[in-house]
Amino acid sequence: MWTARARLTIAALIASLYHGGALAADTAAIPAAVASVSPVEPAATPAEATFPDSSAAPATPDNTHAEAPATTSTTPEEKTPEEKSDADAASGAAPGQAAILRIDPATSNAAPLLKTENSLGDPQHDLWARIRAGFALPALDTSMVKENEDWYTHRPEYVARMLERSKRYLFYIVQEVEKRGMPTEIALLPMIESAFNPNAYSRSHASGIWQFIPSTGRNYGLKQNWWEDNRRNVIAATNAALDYLQNLHDMFGDWELALAAYNWGEGSVARAIARNEAKGLPTDYLSLHMPKETQSYVPRLLAVKNLIQHPQDFGIDLGVVPNTPYFTQITLTQHIDVALAAKLAETPLKEFTSLNPNYTRPVIQAKRPITLLLPVDKAEVFASNLENYSKPLVSWRPYYAKRGEKLVSIARRHGISSTRLEAANGITLRRGRLTRNQILLVPGNGGASLETASFNIPIGTSDSPSHAKLYTVRRGDTLLSIAKHTGVKVSQIKAWNHIRSSRLAVNQKLHLGPIQETHTKIARAKTLHRTALAYRAPRHQRYTVRRGDTLSSIAQRFDVELHDLMRWNKLSSRKRLHPGDKVIILAKND
C-alpha cells in the first residue's frame, strides 16, 4: 500500500480540486504510475477468494480469458530507478510514462426515489426497493404473464444465478435509466435478454447482457474487432441500449411497442402496425401479429417485474444489494495480461472478466488508453500493486504462422495446449491445420511487438502486398456473403477497402487482402466515387411512402440523418406514415 506521505498528498490534491485551488501538493510523493486519483465511495465488497492458477483453468467458452500461461508471483517487489526503466521498456511504455491515467470516482449522480407503499425496504439503502419505486409499465391483460411467472418459479437455481450476476451491474444501469426518466423495468431487461450473463451469445450472433447483433451494435458506436467486442462492454453497451430504446420510444410513443421493436426490429413492428391500420384494427402491442418470441417478450419482462415486486409470493430470496456503486473505472496506457491484471487487483479471475468481458484475448492491447472496471475497493489496490510490479506486464507475443501449419505443432513448440491456443486466438480449425497465413498470439514476452502486429489478418502469399485479390461485386452480394465465401471477416474487407457503409454497388471492386498505401488511396477514391454515384440523393426528391415504411427506414435508405428528414418535412417523432404520403429528401449539402 502507499506510504502515509503519499496518502496525505493525495488528500491535499483532492481538497484543492474540491475548492478550485491550484495543485500545490508535493506531487513527487504520488506513485509514478498514478497520474490522478479521485475519491471512491465505500461500497459492498465482493466475496474475497484466492486468485485461481490460470494454468489450471478449463478451456471453455466462458473462460477464454484464462488462457494466459502462469505468471510470476503476485507479491509486489520494490524497484530501483534502473529496474523501473527496464520494466517500462518491457511493457512497451516510455520511461516514466504513467501506466494509470485516471481512477474515476464511483459516485451516485441520481438521487434515489422516495419510498412507496409497494416497496419492500428503503430505496435509499436497498437497490431492489429503489427499482420497485420506479416501476411504471402498466399491466397487460394476457395469460402469458402468468405463464412466464411459472417458468421462473419452476427454475429456482436459474433465477438464483441470474440474480447473483445482476448484482455487479444493476446499480450502474438503474442510475442511467433514472437519468433518462425511463421506467425502472428497463433496468431488468437484461434478465430476459441474457440472464445477466456477460458472455451470452445467441444463434443470431447477438452478444452481451443487452444482446446486440453486430449491425445494431455498430450503428450505436459499439466497436467490434479482434481485440475487443464492445457489445459486451458493460458501460458502452448499457448506454447504447438505452439510447436505442429511447429512440424506439420516441418513434412509437409507447414502451410496449418500443420493447417489441427492440426484440423484433423497428421495421417489423412498423409494418405490423401498418397492416392493422389498413384493416381498421387496433395497433396496440397485444393486437399486433408478431412472432411468438416477440408476443411473449413484454409479458416475460412483466413477469420478472412481478418477481422483484413481490418476491415472497414466489418463494424467491432476492438477497441484499446495497444502493451503492459496485465498480469503478480505471484508465490504463499499457498492454497487460488479463490474468495479471486480475492478480494485481487481487480479484478472482472470474470476477475480473465478468466486469471486463469486452476484452476477448488473454492480453489487453492498449494502443490507446483503455478502461478497466474494478470493484470499488480494488482500484487503489491495483494502482499500488502495478506501481510496485517489476516484471513484464505481457506474456504473449505475435507468431507469424504459415498456411498448412499444424496448430498442435505450434502449441507444442510454445508450451501450450492446442485447445488453449485456439481459444486465445478465437479460431476453430478443420483437420487441425491453418488454411491461410496469419498472425497468432503465443506465449512469450512481446509487449512492444503488440503495437505493430495485425492479428488474425491473412498475410498475402505474394512478395508484394499490392497483389491482393480483387473481387467484383455481383447482384445480390453483401459484405457478409462475400466474407463467408472468401474466408475473411466483414471488418477486414471494410478495413482493406477503407469503407464504412455496408452498401455495395454492382461491379464495385473490393480488395480481399492488405494493399500498399498508393493502391489504398486509389481504391478508396474509386470506392467513394462509386458509392456517391450509386447512393447520392437528388438535390430535391419526393419519395412516395410505401407500405411498411417508417421515418427511420427511409432515412437509412437515402443515407440521411433521421432528425434532418423530420426537419425537412416538419414531422414529429410520433408521426406515423401512410402509404401514398410524400416525403421530401434533400441532398446532404442542403
pLDDT of residue 42: 35
Range with the poorest average pLDDT among 20-34, 278-292, 381-395, 535-549: 20-34
pLDDT of residue 281: 96
Q: Where are the domains of the chain?
A: 31-106+327-387, 127-314, 396-451, 465-535, 540-586
**Domain 540-586 listed as CATH 3.10.350.10:** yes
pLDDT of residue 20: 37
Render the burial of 305-319: b for 16+ CB within 10 Å, e for the rest: bbbbbebeebebebe
- What is the CATH architecture assignment of 465-535? Roll (3.10)
* Spatial CA neighbour of 303 closest among 196, 502, 118, 149: 149
DSSP 500-538: ------TT-EEE-S---HHHHHHHHHHHHHHHHHHHPPP
Q: Which residue numbers are catalytic?
A: 193
DSSP 146-181: HHHHHHHHT-HHHHHHHHHHHTTTHHHHHHHHHHTT
pLDDT of residue 15: 37
Mean pLDDT of 390-412: 86
384, containing H or E segment:
helix 379-387
pLDDT greater at residue 480 or residue 172: 172
* Highest CATH level, class, for 127-314: mainly alpha
pLDDT of residue 246: 96
* Spatial CA neighbour of 2 closest among 32, 44, 22: 32
Distance separating alpha carbons of residues 546 and 535, to the nearest angstrom:
19
Number of H helices and number of E strands within the chain? 23, 11
The rounded mean pLDDT for the chain is 76
Q: SS3 for 209-276, per residue?
A: CCCECHHHHHHCCCCECCCEEHHHCHHHHHHHHHHHHHHHHHHHCCHHHHHHHHHHCHHHHHHHHHHH
Q: Is the pLDDT of residue 514 over 80?
A: no
pTM of the model: 0.62
- pLDDT over 70 percentage in the chain: 69
Mean pLDDT of 210-229: 93
Confidence of residue 543 (pLDDT cuts 50, 70, 90): confident
Shared fold status for 127-314 and 465-535 = no
Q: Is the pLDDT of residue 453 over 60?
A: no
pLDDT of residue 438: 79
Cell triple for residue 365?
492491447
Mean pLDDT of 124-133: 94
Distance separating alpha carbons of residues 99 and 94, to the nearest angstrom:
10
Mean pLDDT of 180-205: 96
Tell me: the pLDDT tens digits for 297-315? Answer: 999 999 999 999 999 999 9
pLDDT of residue 54: 32
Q: Is the pLDDT of residue 446 over 80?
A: no
Cα–chain center distance at 117? 37
Confidence of residue 520 (pLDDT cuts 50, 70, 90): very low
Q: Is the pLDDT of residue 230 over 90?
A: yes
Q: Hey, what CATH topology would domain 396-451 get?
A: Membrane-bound Lytic Murein Transglycosylase D; Chain A (3.10.350)
Distance separating alpha carbons of residues 168 and 172, to the nearest angstrom:
9
pLDDT greater at residue 540 or residue 541: 541
pLDDT of residue 108: 55
Mean pLDDT of 141-157: 96
Tell me: the pLDDT tens digits for 312-347? Answer: 999 999 988 999 999 999 999 999 999 999 999 999
Tell me: the pLDDT tens digits for 63-80? Answer: 333 333 333 333 333 444
Phi, psi of 235 (to 5 degrees): -75, -50
Give yes or no for a contact between 470 and 510, defined as CB atoms under 8 angstroms apart: yes
Residue with cell 510454445: 414
* Spatial CA neighbour of 364 closest among 374, 375, 353, 354: 353
Q: Is the pLDDT of residue 189 over 90?
A: yes
Q: What does the angle CA 346 – CA 1 – CA 323 come to, to the nearest 5 degrees?
A: 60
Handedness of CA 84, 71, 393, 11 (dihedral sign): negative
Confidence of residue 503 (pLDDT cuts 50, 70, 90): confident
Q: Is the pLDDT of residue 450 over 80?
A: no
Q: Is the pLDDT of residue 540 over 90?
A: no
Confidence of residue 501 (pLDDT cuts 50, 70, 90): confident
Mean pLDDT of 469-486: 77
Q: Is the pLDDT of residue 531 over 70?
A: no
Tell me: the pLDDT tens digits for 559-572? Answer: 777 777 887 787 87
Give yes or no for a contact between 450 and 335, defined as CB atoms under 8 angstroms apart: yes
Range with the poorest average pLDDT among 21-25, 396-400, 412-416: 21-25
